[in-house]
Structures are given as C-alpha cells and as structure tokens.
Amino acid sequence: MLSVKEEFELIKRGASEIISEQDLLKKIEKSRKEKKPLKIKAGFDPSAPDIHLGHTVLLRKMKHFQDLGHEIIFLIGDFTGRIGDPSGRNSIRKQMTKQDVLDNAETYKQQIFKVLDKDKVKVVFNSNWCEDMKFEDVLKLTSSCTVARMLERDDFEKRYKEKKPITILEFLYPLIQGYDSVVLEADIELGGTDQKFNLLVGRQMQKEYGMEESQSVIMMPILEGLDGVQKMSKSLNNYIGINEPAKDMFGKIMSISDKLMFRYYELLTDISIDEINKMKNDVKEGILHPKVVKINLAKEIVSFYYDEQIAEKEALEFDNVFKNKELPNDIEVFTINSADYEEKKIWIVKLITETGLAQTNGEARRAVQQGSVKIDNEKILDTNFEVELTEKEFILQVGKRGFKKVVVE
C-alpha cells in the first residue's frame, strides 16, 4: 500500500494545476483516517461518438484514483451535451438532438472500459436529475452566479467585447455542471485546463447549497494532436482513436515529433517520470536514438489497448516496411557540418530549403503542413520541428520524388 505522500505524488503526476494542493492532501489524509474513499467526478459530454487519446488523459487520471481505492463517477453529460460547452468557443455552438447525444453516449460507455475497471466505476447521466428540475429549481440555480462573474470568463469576455452573441442558455452550462457536483457530492472533480471556469463554479455551487467542504479541482493538460500544435480533435483530423486498428495506432504514434513523444509518455503511459527524464537525457546526449524511444512508446500504448503480442507484431511490421521502402538508386548527397550549429539542431524548414528540395521557406512550410515531408520514412507534421544532427546520415524526402541523403559531419 502506498504512503499518503506516494499517493499524493501519483495523483499530481501530469496535472497542470490543483486547487488547492493543501486541501487535496487533507482530503487524502482524512480518507485514510476514516477509511472512506473519496468521490472522484469527471464529466464527459458525448459530442462525438469516438474517444481518442486526448480524452484518455482524464480517464487515466481516474484510473489512478481507481487503483488507489477511491469511488469513480463517470458522468455522461447527456443533458449538458444538448446545450454544448461554451469553453474555448468564439461563437454559439450548434445544439445536438437528444437522440444524437444518447447514441454517442452509448459508444462512450463501451469505450471507457478499455481504460477503467468496469466493476469499479459508477456511470451516471445528468439528465437523471436535470430533467426533473422544476422552474423554481432553475431560478435558484441562476441566482447563485452574477452576470459580471460570467463575463470574467475569457471566452465570454472576448465575445462580449467583439459584440458576438452570447445566449443565456450558454450561461446555464457552467451552472448545471456545478450543480452536478452538488448532486453527486463530489470530493474531487477532474477536468482539462480549458474547464477551469466551470470547475470553479462547481466549488462555488457546493458552498451555495450548504455543503461543508467544496470539491478540490485537478486540471489536466490538453493533449496536442499529431501536428504537435493544436489540441487532439477529430474535427482537425489529428487524433488517434482508442478503437482504431493497432496498425493505424502504431503508425500514427510513429509520425509524431520527437519533442511530443515525451509528453505522450508522461500523459499516456505509466512509465515513471524518472525513467522518462533519463530517456530525454540519453537522447540529448546521443546515447539513445529517438526512433527507438518512439517505437517503445508506440509499443507501450498499443499494448495497453490491445496486448503485447500485437504490439510486437506491429513494431516488426513497421520496421520491415521502413527498411524495405523503395528508394531511388541515385539519391543526391547533401553534406552538413554539425559544428556550424550551436545546439546540433537545424530547423526542418531551413533544412528543406538548404538541400534545394524547396525554393522558399513558405514552400517548405506548406510541404510540412501537407504531410509531404519525411525523415527516414517518418512523417514530420510540425513546422517548428528541429532535426537533431546526431545521426551520421538520414534520408530527407519532400513529396513523392524529392529525396536527399543528408550526411552529417
């Protein structure tokens, strides 16, 4: 059994912000003393049918609490989903039908158990109490927060200044999310950093409704998608779905940047932070090749959602394809001196133009954005990517016919 300190460190892993750490530690100590598990709440609006790795950042944190013996409440916001979370929105969100929300919610229920233990999680729908609310209940809800407080919210404030419409319905969303915490008597609520306003409203709402203690809030970072820039999203087509075939999952992970892979290690695996830091240092010192680290990451994630045997099979297949990829016999050699670069790195856009595979930086950027650039058959999607000049040679490809064998001296 972990000590209180070890439990606290596990809970803090990967978190962007905790409000407040002191209160959270007291809750853990009280839970141990009274032998009473904490109630951990996380809400998910079923706005799309598929769960991707970005969603699992929260699910994995719930799994940490589950493994520690606490009560996990997976809240499906089938009622709030019909309103639409205004977080990060610069316009009114199109409302979903009740049937759309219920259909998506059903797929959520099937997918979450790839991460969470089905026998140790309570799945609830907020329509169970929201649909039974009387109008006087709604009035009490709205009286707990002022318009001025609502306009402190960044996205509302921005839209108000830009004279973009904000509906009263959108004001109700954080109030209902906060009311969910009252009904469920949550001790801790988990959410993304973009949910901070809603999560704090939950604390305020619990006080308004006379609860002795307000929930602690743990905010997890928003996971960047395959492009390494924007958040993982199905609409941006930069996501990895947890229901995807193992082959696709493995290949997509291999396409991320070297910088992003360590973030994935921290948020999507159980590899210790000490071990991750050692890998970072070994890559930096040239002791460990980034490709090896990335293959291990892909194997780790595929093993979690499938099994080790499948992960090994996909790794072998990927390596075979990589080695047997047909290349032109007469690839031109481009020599680069690493001593000319202080940090032993070169910006991918600069490398493309210097090798003559693009005429301008703008053309090189577009090639990266369009997914036309590969290094040793690994796709580069981040225009800020820096190539480490530690490998003796590698193949740079731009488009179907642009190849250069880059030799590092």
pLDDT of residue 120: 92
Report the number of distinct structural domains present in the chain. Answer: 3
Task: Give the integer Cα–Cα distance in Å for 301 and 278.
Answer: 19
Q: Is residue 134 part of a domain?
A: yes
More confident residue, 290 or 403: 290
pLDDT-derived band at 90 (thresholds 50, 70, 90) equals very low
* Residue 395 near residue 327 (C-beta atoms within 8 A): yes
Same domain? For 118 and 259 the reply is no
Write the secondary structure of the chain as one string of H (helix), E (strand) and C (coil).
CCCHHHHHHHHHCCCCEEECHHHHHHHHHHHHHHCCCCEEEEEECCCCCCCEHHHHHHHHHHHHHHHCCCEEEEEECCCHHHCCCCCCCCCCCCCCCHHHHHHHHHHHHHHHHHCCCHHHEEEEECHHHHCCCCHHHHHHHHCCCCHHHHCCCHHHHHHHHCCCCCCHHHHHHHHHHHHHHHHHCCCEEEEEHHHHHHHHHHHHHHHHCCCCCCCEEEEECCCECCCCCCECCCCCCCCCECCCCHHHHHHHHHCCCHHHHHHHHHHHCCCCHHHHHHHHHHHHCCCCCHHHHHHHHHHHHHHHHCCHHHHHHHHHHHHHHHHHCCCCCCCCEEEECHHHCCCCEEEHHHHHHHCCCCCCHHHHHHHHHCCCEEECCEECCCCCCEEECCCCEEEEEECCCEEEEEEEC
For residues 304-325, average pLDDT: 82
Distance CA 5, CA 394 (A): 46
Q: Which residue has the higher pLDDT, 92 or 341?
A: 341
Confidence (pLDDT) at 311: 93
Share of the chain above pLDDT 70, in %: 92
Q: Kindly report, residue by residue over 138-155, the tens digit of the pLDDT.
A: 898 888 888 888 888 877
Amino acid at 139: L
Q: Do 20 and 104 reside in the same domain of the chain? A: yes
Cα separation, 202 vs 11, whole angstroms: 20
- Which of the residue ranges 161-170, 316-325, 386-395 would you say has the lowest mean pLDDT? 316-325
In a domain, 98, yes or no: yes
Same-domain pairing of 134 and 199: yes
Q: Are 368 and 381 in contact (CB under 8 A)?
A: yes
* Final residue before a domain boundary, out of 324, 341, 358: 324
pLDDT greater at residue 325 or residue 15: 15
- When pLDDT is cut at 50, 70 and 90, the band that residue 328 belongs to is low
Residue 17 resides in a domain: yes
- Report if residue 39 sits inside a domain: yes
Q: Based on the fold, state whether residues 88 and 163 are members of the same structural domain.
A: yes
CATH at residue 350: 3.10.290.10
**What percentage of the chain exceeds 90 in pLDDT?**
39
Q: What is the pLDDT of residue 308?
A: 93
Does residue 167 sit within a domain?
yes
Judge if the upstream peptide bond of residue 20 is cis by omega within 30 degrees of 0: yes
Question: Are both 254 and 367 inside the same structural domain?
Answer: no
- Tell me the pLDDT tens digit for each residue of 93-115: 455 677 777 777 777 777 888 99
The pLDDT-based confidence of 400 (bands split at 50, 70, 90) is low
pLDDT number for residue 115: 92
Q: Which residue has the higher pLDDT, 391 or 228?
A: 228
Residue after which a domain boundary falls, among 186, 220, 254: 220
Q: Which of the 8 DSSP states describes residue 80?
A: G
- For residue 178, pLDDT over 50 is answered with yes
pLDDT, tens digit (0-9, with 9 covering 90-100), for 262-304: 999 999 999 999 999 999 999 888 888 888 999 999 999 999 9
pLDDT at 200 over 50: yes
Please report the pLDDT score of residue 95 as a whole number. 59
Q: Are residues 286 and 401 in the same domain?
A: no
| pTM of structure | 0.72
Residues 260 and 355 grouped into a single domain: no
Q: Tell whether 347 and 401 lie within a shared domain.
A: yes
Mean pLDDT of the chain: 86
Per-residue confidence (pLDDT) for residue 151, from 0 to 100: 84
Residue at which a domain ends, from 324, 343, 364: 324
Same domain, yes or no, for 131 and 196?
yes
> Are 343 and 256 in the same domain?
no
Within this chain, do residues 404 and 316 fall inside the same structural domain, yes or no?
A: no
Over range 58-72, report the average pLDDT. 94
Residue span of the structural domain in which 176 resides: 4-220
User: Vertex 322, ends 226 and 53: CA angle to 5°?
Assistant: 25
Mean pLDDT of 220-244: 87
* pLDDT on residue 322: 64
Mean pLDDT of 63-86: 84
Q: What is the CATH number of the domain that holds 130?
A: 3.40.50.620
* pLDDT class of 91 with cuts at 50, 70, 90: very low
Q: Quick one: pLDDT at residue 355?
A: 86
Per-residue pLDDT at 168: 83
In this predicted structure, what is the pLDDT of residue 238? Answer: 86
